[in-house]
Amino acid sequence: MNFSTPSFPTNPTPPTTAFSAPAILSGSGLVKTYGSSTALAGVDIAVRAGESVAIMGASGSGKTTLLHTLAGITSPDSGRVEFQSAAGAVDVTAMNERDRSRLRREAFGFVFQQGLLIPELTAIENTALPLMLAGYPRREAEGRAQHWLAALGLAGMEARRIGELSGGQAQRVAIARAQVTGATVVFADEPTGALDSATSDDVMSALLGSTVGQGHALIVVTHDETVAARCSRIIRLRDGRTDATAGVAAGSTGTGVSA
């Protein structure tokens, strides 16, 4: 499958020129402890629109906690997360549970390692769900979902249940679900963790094409160097801090960011 010339449905957000734009999502001085163990010990991070950032590090280095904190899933003990929404800057850390849930639903997209799609729903129903949650009529939601599935090479599989799809196909449904609302930031936690290398490559292309290719930001937690190398930037964590000794720049192969 070729994703170099993706024809994804257009979203209302215009593509932003990378690196010149202000950060769409930023965290400063993020600290999070669980009991006696420190997951984040003061992390600063800024992600721009049209940028893909890989977060790497050993198990327990705090990468998933960082992702969850940036996404408003967990609240940091101290520090601040700011998101540049269409209506202006919002302080994610100051929001209550309900508002954060709404933010995740409407402004962010998520792709997890196992997809975690709802097994009894079909591919199109899974994809349309975020739109239905946002109040779209089902017909309209499924119409948009269908476009996304087709753009991700899943035309004809709309009515299949998740169990009838391969691992790579299921991840694409998850990608479609993450982008169907036009989320400007997509968070991916080991999106290729359960896939073989060829499929992993395909899924990564689809993920980059549908996010960065649309001018949106992508934040990927991964332990796979090949996956990280495809992002425009790598942030390495060690013991809850960004590792200064690690190389900063990664190859920008296939992301189309430099365009």
CB of 21 or CB of 116, closer to another protein? 116
In whole angstroms, the minimum distance from the beta carbon of 73 to another protein comes to 5
In whole angstroms, the minimum distance from the beta carbon of 253 to another protein comes to 30
In whole angstroms, the minimum distance from the beta carbon of 132 to another protein comes to 5
Dist CA 174 CA 186 (whole Å): 11
CB of 69 or CB of 205, closer to another protein? 69
H or E, element range at 25: strand 23-34
**Edge-to-edge strands of the sheet including 23-34?**
37-48, 23-34, 78-85, 88-91
Per the structure block, which two tokens stand in for 228? 């990280």
CB of 134 or CB of 259, closer to another protein? 134
CB of 133 or CB of 259, closer to another protein? 133
161 bridge partner residues? 122
Cα separations (Å) of 254 from 2, 134, 222? 12, 32, 18
CB of 31 or CB of 116, closer to another protein? 116
Signed CA dihedral, 16, 228, 148, 125: sign only = negative
Positions touching another protein (CB under 8 A) are 34, 68, 71, 73-74, 101-106, 108, 110, 112, 114, 116, 118-121, 125, 129-130, 132-133, 137-138, 161, 163-164, 177
Enumerate the H helices of 2-83 as residue ranges. 63-70
In whole angstroms, the minimum distance from the beta carbon of 117 to another protein comes to 9
Per the structure block, which two tokens stand in for 6? 């993706």
In whole angstroms, the minimum distance from the beta carbon of 164 to another protein comes to 5
